[in-house]
Amino acid sequence: MKRISFLFIVCFIIFSCQKSIKNIVNIDPTIDSLLVKKHLFTLASDEMEGRKVGTPGIEKAASYIETEFNNLGLTFYDSLHGYRQTFTFKSREDNQVITTSNIIGVLLGKSKKEEYVIISAHYDHLGIKNISGDSIFNGANDNASGVTGVLTLAKYFKEKKLNERTIIFVAFTAEEMGLVGSKYFGKGIDSSKYIAGINLEMIGKSPKFGSNTAWLTGFDRSDLGQIIQKNLLGTGYQLFPDPYLNYNLFFRSDNASLARLGVPSHSFSTTSVDLDQDYHQPSDEVQTLNINVITQTIIAIAKGTESVINGQDTPSRVILTNGKN
Ligand SMILES: [Zn+2]
């Protein structure tokens, strides 16, 4: 009897261990929803005052992103002495001259240091407006969710050490004022070194294709989308071409600034832009978002882009006729 009990206990322990090992394989410990929540809630908090360019609110967001890059040990971009790429521009709204910064952190590639993959999202939003009621435009979906993705992916790829290519993580400024930050960044680059651009834009809501799906802007303009689809086979997560072609979204987010230079640079999104009631409204708050959607999408981007990050796949270049469409 004792012997049978002993055998039972041994079997139970072995079974339990196998189960926990299996869980670790299935759920990547470096992308967890608690970290996603921390970044999202911080960036979309009232304290950040809607992250309008030129305000103390966006300064707090910039400091937060810098601190995260620093904690991860990312290095500086190009000849910069910090994570900020600072510049001035004239606002098209009121002709004011504004000083602002893209926040850039670099994870050097192991064997292909001169081949770059950029992972980006804009961190600015609309700020506070003089309206009654809730006057803070928190921009939780647009685009605290995307920056949350960039920060989480930076941690993931830093820990995974699979990047044969150099990854440049960028939080772009002044997207809402006309893609100003990404245009400035694009002016200074040798685009031939940029292998792919992965931009995250509003990844916090369930898309019309159902859960565990996202869509990619400009899907047919390079084969990056097909490469990602191939890498996601069997994961249960699906990537679709952008279903809102009449919205011209490919040219309306920061991916466009690099795509115009030929870089296969596209935006990931999950939001049904035709139905979304919170777009550019004070109601774009964290309560309207689904943490699980954000987390699963970040995991899908990590898995989906792995063969580009590790140098196995090289997507085709974007060719624009007239430089416009
Ligand atoms: Zn946006």
pLDDT digits (tens, 9 = 90+) for 235-258: 999 999 999 999 999 999 999 999
Please report which confidence band the pLDDT of residue 214 belongs to, taking 50, 70 and 90 as the band edges. very high
193 CA → ligand 1 middle, Å = 26
- Give me the pLDDT at residue 26, please: 40
One-character DSSP codes across 202-219:
--SS--TT-SSEEEETTG
- The Cα–Cα gap between 118 and 287 comes to 30
- Give me the pLDDT at residue 132, please: 84
123 CA → ligand 1 middle, Å = 8
141 CA → ligand 1 middle, Å = 8
Share of the chain above pLDDT 70, in %: 90
- Give me the pLDDT at residue 325, please: 53
Q: Which of 8-22, 109-123, 133-147, 184-198 has the least mean pLDDT?
A: 8-22
196 CA → ligand 1 middle, Å = 20
25 CA → ligand 1 middle, Å = 34
- Give me the pLDDT at residue 135, please: 94
> Buried b vs exposed e over 291-304: b needs ≥16 C-beta within 10 Å?
bebbbbbbbbbbbb
Please report which confidence band the pLDDT of residue 9 belongs to, taking 50, 70 and 90 as the band edges. low
Domains of the chain plus CATH, in order, are 30-309 (3.40.630.10)
Mean pLDDT, range 173-200, rounded to an integer: 97
214 CA → ligand 1 middle, Å = 16
- 282 — phi, psi (to 5°)? -60, -15
pLDDT digits (tens, 9 = 90+) for 31-62: 889 999 999 999 999 999 999 999 999 999 99
Q: Tell me the whole-structure pTM to 2 decimals.
A: 0.90
- Give me the pLDDT at residue 17, please: 40
pLDDT digits (tens, 9 = 90+) for 168-178: 999 999 999 99
pLDDT digits (tens, 9 = 90+) for 52-100: 999 999 999 999 999 999 999 999 999 999 999 999 999 998 899 999 9
Q: Which of 190, 237, 192 is nearest to 216 (CA)?
A: 237
- Give me the pLDDT at residue 126, please: 97
Q: Which of 302, 303, 284, 125 is nearest to 205 (CA)?
A: 284
- Please work out, in degrees rounded to the nearest 5, the angle formed at the alpha carbon of residue 116 by the alpha carbons of 114 and 119: 160
Which amino acid type is present at position 152? T
pLDDT digits (tens, 9 = 90+) for 284-313: 999 999 999 999 999 999 999 999 999 999
Residues 62 and 125 sit within 8 Å (Cβ to Cβ): no
112 CA → ligand 1 middle, Å = 31
269 CA → ligand 1 middle, Å = 10
Query: How high does pLDDT run on average in the chain?
Result: 91
CA atoms within 13 A on the CB side of 314: 11
pLDDT digits (tens, 9 = 90+) for 129-150: 988 888 999 999 999 999 999 9
Reply yes or no on whether the pLDDT at 21 is more than 50. Answer: no
- The Cα–Cα gap between 50 and 66 comes to 18
175 CA → ligand 1 middle, Å = 7
